[in-house]
Structure 1
Amino acid sequence: MSDVNYPEQGGTRRTPLPPGYHHLHEEVPIGRGPEVLAAAGEAITTFRMHRAAGAVIRADAPRAAPGVAVEVSLGIGPLRLRAPCRVVWTVAEEDRIGFAYGTREGHPECGEEAFLAERRPDGSVWFVVTAFSRPAARLTRFGGPLVPVAQRQYARHLGRTLRRLANPRRGGRTP
């Protein structure tokens, strides 16, 4: 039994996303070829991308797998925002690698977020974030329209971080 705090578990795997939530879909180009896909997938599924982007990650396991509990923390000291999650699905296919986690009690939002590296038919590799969420705490309700803006900016920051991690010899630049 899962302890996520929303009923649409796995909702980021399909479209349309569940109604009644803010929807996020961001795509960031990160490079080309199978080596970039493999490096990006490794950075995503081992939480290295999140850590390199400045988040503190505590997880039950070193790699994302269904059922793994994860706490993502951002900020410092008393301003640190803690977000408990649970990995709800993973994918490791020839052209797609990643996972999604769902929010648990104590998370400032309610919903799910997926992080994928995808190789397209032209060989380009993209970081794709898909999410649905709504406020679950006073802080996020108070933040109102600023919360989706912050989520979009954080997704783009993760994409730039992943580009750097997946292309170490190119300095993160796409060809």
Structure 2
Amino acid sequence: NVSVVDLAADGADSQDGIGLRIKSGAKSGGTVDSVSYANICMRNVKFPLVFDTNYGSAGGTSYPDFSGITVKGFHYLGSQRFGGGKTTFVGYNDNGQKRPISITLDNVVFDGAQPSFTGLTATHFSLGPGPVSFANKLVPSIKDDVKVSGSPGNGTPVDCTVAFVPMKSVVPEAPF
């Protein structure tokens, strides 16, 4: 069981900026279960959400299995450089093994531009009861083993007004 709560992440518009990420592959896989993220504020990140079971080189028999993942209260404020950023939801479907990601998205809100997908396969989504701003992009697919259940509703995004403080307010001699 892993729980991440009250996180503020500023990627500074870095080309390599990654927000929430769980990655694995058949060489180093296994079970990842009961991981929750709550009250997350994020901005200026190229890859805000990355859940990838096909990371790295192929081979191996430690097949990754991601289940019980919950993102509740995630607010992405956007990026001047990357807009809504790119997300990845890639469950394992290789070597005759099918291990879709099981993930719940509840009150997951991207301001302005919505994310694009670098991968969307073998993932079973449970949405709501709060809003999921990109829910219309999560299209069920038998071919790609994408399932979507639940109905996102209305709600207020996580309040990020005090999540990002200027460094100078904490360290007066800071150059930024």
Category of TM-score, reference length = shorter chain: under 0.3
By percentage of residues, which structure has more strand?
A: 2
By percentage of residues, which structure has more helix?
A: 1
- Higher relative contact order (CA closer than 8 Å, sequence separation 6+): 1
Normalising by structure 1, report the TM-score.
0.26
Larger Rg: 2
Normalising by structure 2, report the TM-score.
0.26
